[in-house]
Structure 1
Amino acid sequence: MPRYRPPEALTGTPGKAVLPRGTLLYRVHGAHRPAHAFNPRPAHCLYGGGRFDGTSCDPYPYLYAGLGAAAAVCETLLRDLEFDPSGGPRLLPAAAIAGRRFSTLRLTTDLTLLPLLGGRDLAAVHQDPWLIHTEARDYPYTRDWAHWLRRHTDPWACGLLWPSKREPGERALALFGDRCPPGALRVEPDTALDLDGEAGRAWLDAVLEPYQVRLAP
């Protein structure tokens, strides 16, 4: 595993991916926080936290989303859900959706992200698919790399864009709250679904069925 430290200098030329104004973003998030709100709490440098969270070493607010609904659902809810060796459906426990909401956002302005979509994109920043595919045990390293990537794409990179690990046909992204213009994200009206409510469970069941997942009673 390439757990080496980032080099001092960035010698490649990183790519740029522009998400145009009007692009829809999809989120599964805690209902206690508005869908367009960035998480202001830095993750611990070593323990807990997500793949590209801000930490005390680089305490930026962050927000994860998908460019498709399936990416948002799979990245948030299916990360640790193992397949049944007997071939039966995977069961998603009720605790996984308690207090969670599915929301749709719309960009009100163009945002430029650093793409990590293929081998060339990754090689340009001295990395390979480990950065976007590794599991949570390595997240302290991926967070450190995210901080390094931010330093070498300052000020233009408003976030990172990569293929969803759990739904490779769609893309996931992390936005940096200190680089996105105020008001860049607008919540789409009448699109929120509380996943632990009747309508939310019915919608989620339909999304999960192709992944051999069912909600536990």
Structure 2
Amino acid sequence: MGKYPPPDTLPGEPSRAVLRAGTPLFRVHSTHRDPTAYNTRRTHPFYYGGRFDSTPFDPYGYLYVGFGVGAAVSEVLLRSLPFDGGHGPRLLPRVAFERRSLSFLRLAADIEVVSLMGGADLAAVAQDAWLVHTEGADYPQTRDWGHWIRRQTKSWAQGFVWPSKREPADRVAVLFDDRGETPLLEPAGAAPVDFGTEEGEHWLNGVLAPYRTQTAPRPPRRNEEF
């Protein structure tokens, strides 16, 4: 279990992975946000937030992407959504998706990232699977580790890549806006899918079905309650 403070120095050489220009990527984001815009909000160091978010201790723009639609959707929408032991599908609360969209993107240039894909990669940064598999209660610690890894890999590392926790057959990545001069992402051509529309919700349910999940039904209107 890797829940301990980062060491003073690296125990090995961090593993580098090159992600090639044109690589398709998928992003679930707030519908009002530009699909390629970085999140510049600094997460509180000790509460809420994501695995490798920026904080006041290390301010940077960041965004999360999946290498497949399933990874992108499940990493954002299926967090802390347990199975109840029954045979029915999980219900995804409407508040979790109605103001979100999925965008189809691709890398605009080759980029170099820290690989956290395997045991040797994690050991090179003094960690184990805890760093990429632990749940939200430990995210203040994973953010601290992310800041430490960024310091050890300045200035070449433009992000991290690791196996998706909720779709282990695929990968996810976080990208940083303060490493490299050219835009890292561009739209891939297809229009974003707005989950807040009837068509977008239907599309989302098609993605969620293999994960035994569906969107919760709309609440009845007042004049339909009786």
Gaps of 5+ in 1: none
Name the CA distance, whole Å, in 2 between partners of 1:180 and 1:196: 34
| Partner of residue 168, structure 2 | 168
> What are the within-5 Å matches in structure 2 for residues 3-42 of structure 1?
3-42=3-42
**Over residues 96-152 of structure 1, what are the superposed CA-to-partner deviations in whole Å (9 max), with x where a residue is unaligned?**
112101101111100111010010100011000000000111001000000000001
Give the distance between the partners of 1:67 and 1:90, measured in 2 at CA: 24
Match of 2:112, as an amino acid?
T
Structure 2 segments unaligned to the other structure (5+ residues):
218-226
Which amino acid in 2 is paired with 1:28? V
Q: Is residue 45 from structure 1 mapped to residue 45 from structure 2 by the alignment?
A: yes
For residues 74-153 of structure 1, the aligned pairs below 5 Å read 74-153=74-153
Q: Quick one: structure 1 residues 180 and 207, their matched pair in 2 at CA, closer, same or farther if it must change by over 3 Å?
A: farther
CA distance in structure 1 between the partners assigned to 2:11 and 2:84 by the alignment? 45
Identical-pair percentage: 53
CA distance in 2, matches of 1:173, 1:2: 20
Distance 2:10 2:109 in 1: 28
Measured on the aligned residues, the alpha-carbon RMSD in Å equals: 1.0
1:149-193 superposed Cα distances (whole Å, 9 cap, x missing partner): 000111111000000000000001000111143322111233311
Mapped contact 2:27–2:35 kept (Cα < 8 A): yes
Q: Which amino acid aligns with 1:5?
A: P
Partner AA of 2:174 in structure 1: A
- SS at structure 2 position matched to 1:11: coil
Any idea what the Cα deviations from partners look like across 1:58-97, whole Å, max 9, x if unmatched? 0011100001111000000001111022221101111111
2:3·2:130 contact (CA, 8 Å) conserved in 1? no
How far apart, in 2, do the equivalents of 1:181 and 1:69 lie?
28
Q: Secondary structure at the match of 2:191?
A: coil
Q: Secondary structure at the match of 1:204?
A: helix
Structure whose CA Rg is larger: 2
After TM superposition, the structure 1 stretch with the greater mean CA deviation from structure 2, 97-106 or 158-167, is: 97-106
Q: Secondary structure at the match of 2:167?
A: coil
